[in-house]
Structures are given as C-alpha cells and as structure tokens.
Amino acid sequence: MSTHAAEGPAPLVARRALNRSGSLACALLALALGGVSPEAEAQAPDPATQGGSTDVDEDGAEPQKDDPKTGDEAQPDVEVVRDEAADEDDELSRIEKINPLTVHWEDGLHLAGKWDYLHLKIAGDLQNDTAGFVNTESAEETLGTPIIGGVEWRRARVYAEGRITRHLDFKFRYDFTAGNPPNLKDAYGSLVNLPIPTLEITAGRFKAPLGLDGYTGAADLVFLERSLMSWAFLPSRNTGIMAHGDSPQHRFRWSIAALQPEAEDINLSETDNLGWSARLAYAFAKGKKKENLIHIGADFWRRNVSDTIQYATAPESNLAPFFVDTGDIPAESANITVLETAFQRGKWTVQGEFTLAQVNPLDGASLYFHGFYVQGSYFLTGETMVYRNDRGTFARPYPKRNIRQGGGGAFELGFRYSRINLTDGPVDGGVLADWTVGLNWYPTYHLKLMFNGIVANLKDANPVGILQMRLQVAF
C-alpha cells in the first residue's frame, strides 16, 4: 500500500523556517516553540473531511497511507477515507520544485526527493498506563495469583516508512518497552503500482488484517485495550507474504496471506507450521443524504499446529493477570472465524464482532471456544470517527477546535460489553464478561487522554473493579 505524507495541516512556522535556511534544526526549533500556528490550523481542512490515522499499533501492519482523502460518497456526517497514488505524485512533484531533497514536518519528520520517488517518514508514539483494582480477594482466590495495580509504558515506538522507488514501499517499527516483546514489530516491503490496479504484495513481518477491532491501530482505539475475543484469539504479527487490495471505488477491501506464526503471543508456538488467513470487508453509505455508513466483514485464519495451542486473556487491562486460560492443548490445527459489522451516523459509531475458534486436538472431538463484543462511541463535541477505506477500520478524527485554536479539543464517550468462553469438553478455561465505560479527551490530534472503568465478571468469583487511564502522544 502506498506510503504517503501524513494527513493534517503542515505547520507553517516550520515550513517558513526551513525555506529560509534549509536547516532541519531551524524547522524543529520552530516546531518546538510555535507548534502549529493558529493561522495554519484555521486554513486546515475541516475535520469532517480530514481522515487518516497514525499507525502506531500493535495492531496494524499492512502498509498504511499517511495522507488519506475523503471518499467519493462521503458526507459531512460520514467520513470515508481515500488514498490514491496520484495524490502522492502531485505532492512529490511540488516538493521537488522547491528542492531536490527537502525536509519538513507533517505529523512526523519527512524527507522527500526526486530520485525515483524517494520518500521517508520518521515518527512514533508513546503510551503510559496507570491501573488500579478493587474487590480482588475472591478473584485472587479463584485464580491463585495476586492482582496488583501499577504504572507501565504500554508502548514506546519509533517507525520509519516510505518509498524508495515507484514500486517499493517499506516499513520498520521498533518498540523500546521491556514488557512487549519482540521489540522489532514491523519489518516488511510492499510492491505497489503494479500492472493490476489496486493490487499490492507485502512480504516480511507484519500484522495480517484479522478483525475490525484487531486490525484497528492502537492509537485509534476507543478503549485502552482491545476486546476479550481479539486479545485471546487473534495474532499480533507474523512473518509471511500477503496479497491485498481494494475495489476501484475504494469500498471493498480484501487480503489473503500465507503466515508463519511467531512466539509473541500466548497462543502461538514457535514451531507452528505455515498457515493462511483472509479478510473481506465492505462499506457503503445509505439514506437520502447517504449519511449512514454500514460496514460488514468476514475473516478466517487457519493455523497448522505442530505441538500445543493455548488461548488466554486478561480483563482488558494489560496490568492484570490472565483471568481465563485454556492451558496447553495438544492439537494439530485450529480455525478462527470472525464476523464483523459496524454502523455510523454522524457523532455515533457502533460496532460488534463474533469469533469462533475450532481446535482440532490430537485425540478426541473438536473443541469450540467463542467470544463477542458490542461497543459504541459518541463525540460530545460533534466530531465523526474517520472510516479508513484503505484499511477497512475506524480512526480518530481531528478535533474541530483544539486547544491551540482556543477550543477545548474533542471529547468522546465509549461503552462496551465483551464476553469470552474458553470452556468446552475436558477444557475448563473459564468464562469472563466485561462491562466498560470510557471517556477520551483529545486536546489535539496527537495528544489523547483516556479513562476506563471496567467491571470484570469472572465465573465463580465476585466482580473485580478496574480503573485505568492512559496518556498517549502519537505522530
């Protein structure tokens, strides 16, 4: 997928400093002192038509487009993101007229030149979490392990992505946090602008598109963590090769990949054999003014297990221990099926998914585990969650008036019910259901404060209360 300059208004202060002196130091100093000038933000596109997200997730490793535009049929109440190679060509042509090699800041540090579409972006993200737990005695007795709150760096990542020829995109991402191995998250290249329109081929270490929640970037999540089913059943990253693309109207998105699982997640074995995955997602607008956006999708992941398989999850808090766990199951294969849907109308976005895991053990009948969630979000300040047609996921919007413009930023309310059942036949992994409410404040597009309250209901134990927050800075 094409890798473009990131979305959003460019800081005019930095551009002027750079054009006067050609000095990167001057540009960065101007950014530090002035940030985005009020004049620049006043001239920026309206947030209702500005889309895109910064890829900071553990969570999204298909090559991303950093300057998505609004889709053909997007309306003020429904944001649909588009991204075409022609947009980048025009931008690079404009840059080349200024300087054969230019350095500028647009949601990250960019270097661009005229040599075979040379383009490099360097950016990253920081997420610091704090969590506390109440009423834990019953659950601790059932689990046999303490439940202790604390503070942690959830993610501290730097990535470099870009294009070195007309047909080759690349991305590398490194995470400096100690509790989130392996540290090298992404390392892949993508063939783009191929003779078959919209077809792209990616190879290396990446996150395969699986699930609406699972494939949403970490910086764009409504809640601190993904749902119980996404955490337990879906992988983070694998090494492999993937063909992917979309329809000419940028509404239908597809991918198919051959994957070699890695031992990053609790349920992945280093010795698993080559498997495969596929995803189909479609979005369309309905209503007289096409103000309603509807998303549907389906995913499948085939794992060929050489030894054992395990599914487990914490109660949507990374500082908590596993509340449900199947333990090691001797198996030869597993099939994961995901059904996804979402509906958006202006400030409201509602989505839900169901996952069924079929495990084929070495002895005995197949085992079936399942999970689902339903969640909704509402922007008190009138923003609309961006729908990214290039990924088939949602992303955070630009605040209508951020604090630099004299506004208060964007405020978002969220609600989610999530449930997972890891018990079937001889396997008693447990049943867990979470109720979550959240409040998110976006002082600017790049700064986000998140507050979650969770009631975790573990079978055969009293409910556990969880209060957690996150400070996020993402470019």
Task: Decide if 5 is inside a domain.
Answer: no
Cβ-proximal residues to 58 (8 Å cutoff; 6+ apart), any chain: 155, 180, 185, 207, 218, 236, 237
The backbone torsions φ and ψ at residue 55, rounded to the nearest 5 degrees and listed phi first, read: -80, 100
- Rounded to two decimals, the pTM is 0.79
For residue 402, give its domain range: 12-474
Residues in the chain with pLDDT values less than 70: 1-100, 114-116, 262-271, 288-290
Task: Decide if 312 is inside a domain.
Answer: yes
Q: Structure tokens of 24?
A: 């990167």
Model pLDDT, residue 113: 75
Model pLDDT, residue 179: 75
DSSP H helices, 226-337, are 228-233
Share of the chain above pLDDT 90, in %: 64
Task: Decide if 7 is inside a domain.
Answer: no
Task: Decide if 299 is inside a domain.
Answer: yes
Model pLDDT, residue 63: 43
The three-class DSSP label of residue 284 is: strand
Model pLDDT, residue 165: 86
Total domains, the chain = 1
Task: Decide if 395 is inside a domain.
Answer: yes
Place of tokens 């604090």: 403
Tell me the CATH number at 178.
Answer: 2.40.160.10
CA dihedral 167, 85, 118, 444 (to 10 degrees): -130
Task: Decide if 3 is inside a domain.
Answer: no
